[in-house]
């Protein structure tokens, strides 16, 4: 059914929000929201901006095997793409991000998109690393059964990410064999469709040079850890702003829970799934439903609206509108058209 995935995601988001809101006392919820320390929330907002900078900085290193891009262009494409993720369905912001950078830096959009895929794989591996550290080093408020489930869940995600990484690596190292296999599998389809798919895969594979370039590995690892370290501290500061005194590790446990939750179909901006994961996680420490929901609402709202605001500024700066983001063939004002 056309747009069925959008309706499914919206339904899940709505159902989760209804479930969360029917469980709370609204008077207590309002008192909890009013108790937030605004100065702490302001510091947390600065950290959100810092995560955008870290993501754009890391992306520069992933792009270096293709082209040394200007930080201003990687930052604008990152901000616009993340904003689009908050507004458009099915994470179309990742495509938007590749499109904007491809147009501004004269990079084939398929090659640019390949680096975005690697970028997201790095996110997954970094979060899995954080999960492993939490399970091995930090005392957690979980019983043995929950720790066992987390270990198996982490292993499943590691195998998933590892499988995707292996497929991409094979496409990069043996493109001829991959393209021959694609042509055999698609032999019954119209030739022009198969040719177009093969051209895309060939260009996509050209964007995977970061997989065999090790000179920037240190910078990529450091920026990945800084990026998600800032996110963990951001979560912790929001919890602290509501006078809920928990260890620093709560911010990183929230991070892992939220990362798992955003993989569930939801409305744009991960509404509902992000909130439900945060509330469920905080309940492990005995935080009340009202305080948990207050923290989840503010935690999501700051990231959501600040990301949209920053993205909107960059969108205006490059001469685009939201309507233009659905027109990949349009060149960004003031920049040359992409070469492929």
Query: How many H-runs (helices) and E-runs (strands) does the chain carry?
Result: 13, 0
306-328: pLDDT as tens digits: 999 999 999 999 888 777 765 54
**15 within domain boundaries:** no
**255 within domain boundaries:** yes
**25 within domain boundaries:** no
Pairwise pLDDT comparison (33 vs 335), residue with the higher score: 33
65-111: pLDDT as tens digits: 888 999 999 999 999 999 999 998 878 899 999 999 988 898 888 88
| pTM score, whole prediction | 0.86
What pLDDT shows up at residue 3?
63
The size of the chain, in residues, is: 340
Which secondary structure element, helix H or strand E, spans residue 161, and what is its range? Answer: helix 144-173
Whether residue 244 contacts residue 295, with contact meaning beta carbons closer than 8 Å, is answered with yes
What pLDDT shows up at residue 4?
65
117-134: pLDDT as tens digits: 889 989 999 998 998 888
What pLDDT shows up at residue 137?
79
**313 within domain boundaries:** yes
pLDDT at 2 over 70: no
Pairwise pLDDT comparison (322 vs 114), residue with the higher score: 114
Whether residue 306 contacts residue 49, with contact meaning beta carbons closer than 8 Å, is answered with yes
| Dihedral-angle region of residue 298 (phi above 0 means left; psi in -120 to 50 means alpha; beta otherwise) | alpha
Pairwise pLDDT comparison (297 vs 323), residue with the higher score: 297
**23 within domain boundaries:** no
**135 within domain boundaries:** yes
Pairwise pLDDT comparison (340 vs 281), residue with the higher score: 281
Task: Give Cα 240 distance to the centre of its chain.
Answer: 24
217-248: pLDDT as tens digits: 889 999 999 999 999 999 999 999 999 999 99
**How many domains does the chain contain in total?**
1
pLDDT at 151 over 90: no
The boundaries of the domain holding residue 92 are: 35-326
The rounded mean pLDDT for the chain is 87
**331 within domain boundaries:** no
Across 292-309, average pLDDT: 97
**29 within domain boundaries:** no
């Amino acid at each position: 059914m056309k747009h069925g995935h959008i309706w499914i995601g919206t339904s899940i988001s709505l159902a989760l929000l209804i479930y969360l809101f029917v469980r709370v006392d609204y008077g207590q919820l309002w008192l909890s929201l009013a108790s937030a320390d605004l100065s702490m929330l302001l510091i947390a907002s600065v950290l959100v901006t810092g995560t955008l900078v870290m993501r754009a900085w890391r992306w520069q290193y992933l792009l270096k095997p293709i082209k040394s891009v200007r930080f201003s262009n990687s930052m604008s494409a990152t901000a616009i793409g993340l904003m689009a993720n908050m507004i458009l369905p099915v994470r179309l912001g990742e495509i938007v991000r590749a499109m904007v950078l491809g147009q501004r830096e004269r990079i084939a959009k398929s090659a640019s998109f390949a680096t975005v895929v690697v970028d997201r794989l790095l996110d997954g591996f970094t979060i899995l690393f954080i999960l492993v550290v939490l399970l091995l080093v930090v005392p957690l408020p979980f019983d043995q059964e929950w720790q066992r489930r987390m270990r198996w869940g982490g292993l499943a995600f590691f195998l998933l990410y590892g499988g995707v990484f292996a497929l991409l690596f094979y496409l990069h190292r043996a493109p001829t064999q991959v393209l021959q296999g694609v042509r055999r599998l698609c032999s019954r389809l119209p030739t022009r469709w198969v040719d177009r798919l093969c051209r895309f895969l060939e260009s996509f594979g050209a964007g995977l040079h970061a997989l065999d370039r090790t000179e920037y590995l240190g910078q990529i690892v450091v920026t990945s850890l800084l990026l998600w370290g800032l996110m963990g501290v951001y979560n912790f500061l929001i919890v602290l702003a509501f006078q809920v005194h928990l260890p620093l590790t709560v911010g990183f446990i929230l991070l892992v829970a939220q990362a798992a939750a955003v993989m569930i179909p939801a409305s744009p901006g991960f509404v509902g799934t992000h909130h439900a994961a945060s509330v469920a996680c905080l309940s492990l420490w005995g935080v009340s439903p009202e305080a948990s929901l207050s923290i989840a609402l503010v935690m999501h709202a700051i990231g959501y609206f600040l990301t949209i605001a920053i993205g909107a500024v960059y969108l205006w700066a490059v001469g685009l509108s939201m309507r233009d983001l659905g027109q990949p063939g349009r060149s960004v004002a003031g920049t040359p058209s992409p070469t492929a």
